[in-house]
Chains A and B, each alone.
Chain A
Amino acid sequence: MEWLKTHRNDAILIAALMLLGGALAVFLYATRQDGGYVSVQMDGQTVMELPLSEDTQVLLGEDGHTNTLVIRNGTAQVVEADCPDQICVRQGAVQYEGESIVCLPHKLVVSVEGGQGSGIDANTG
């Protein structure tokens, strides 16, 4: 408690930041929704849209720059990649709207979107 007296401003700052971060987390968590499809962006361009309802596997990119994306049971995951950091693989599966998998070395973003997707690859059967 002695610390609180001499560090009142610090304590207020920390509490405010924690509250803000917590509120943001709760908000995002409470408003999360199962995604409808994943959008695949390479170099900022959307190259593919895949419905989460259909299990599939696609190889993204070219030799030396590939990521294997698997869609299974409504989740999307990069299971294999030849990037140096392997962070995209370790990010695991995503399924909620707004979640994403990023492979920075390959400039790849796989993001989960709500709804049914539009235009590219619209699954009209």
Chain B
Amino acid sequence: MKASKVAQYGLITALALVLSYLESLLPPLGVPGVKLGLPNLAIVFALYRLNWKDACIISLMRVVLVTLLFGNGAALAYSVAGAALSLSLMGLLKRTGKFSSVGVSVAGGVAHNAGQILVAMALLETSRLAWYLPVLWISGTVAGVLIGVVSGVLVERVPDKK
């Protein structure tokens, strides 16, 4: 791995961590551990600037680091499920070539939230959380649009050090 790539990895992971921290300061969405998905900005950026595999590695690093730094073990299962579902869907949509970073990140945002809710339902052995799905569905869509637009701009503007 080239030094410049290591630097990019570090920068994007740092961005993801800052966004995770910012997100932890926001009020909860009503379900414990379930978040809006701001760090997805860094992941979408990685997906477009680097590639799907690198985005997966950065996403995994973020999840592990956040758990170590902010120590919320309970949220780890949510994060992993949300990230995995989100990355799979984003990778697929990007491959079709029919969507821009906006569509890709919207799908990722909704998948991220749906994945978290599904794991929460399984962990807590209750189907009662379905009530929160529409809230997270819509917030995921809105956050996805914002993230898609911003990451699109970032990919264009941030110089690619090769």
Contact = CB atoms under 8 A, between A and B. Distances in A.
Interface of A: 6-7, 9-10, 13-14, 17-18, 20-22, 24-25, 28, 41, 44, 85, 87-88, 90-91, 98-100, 102-105, 107, 109, 111
Interface of B: 27-28, 30-33, 72, 74-75, 98-100, 102-103, 106-107, 110, 120, 123-126, 128-131, 133-135, 137-138, 141, 144-145, 148
B33 A104 contact: yes
Contacts of A107: 124
B102 A7 contact: yes
Contacts of A109: 124, 126, 128
A99 B131 contact: yes
Contacts of B148: 10
Given A13-B107, A44-B124, 11 more contacts: A9-B99, A24-B134, A85-B72, A88-B32, A90-B28, A91-B28, A98-B128, A98-B130, A104-B74, A104-B75, A111-B126
A113 B144 CA distance: 34
A111 B99 contact: no
B134 A87 contact: no
Nearest to B105: A10
A102 B31 CA distance: 7
Contact of B106 (A10, A90, A102, A105): A10
Contacts of A14: 102-103, 106, 141, 144-145
A7 B141 CA distance: 16
18 contacts: A7-B102, A10-B100, A10-B103, A10-B148, A13-B99, A14-B102, A21-B138, A22-B138, A25-B135, A28-B131, A41-B124, A85-B72, A98-B128, A99-B131, A100-B131, A104-B32, A104-B33, A107-B124
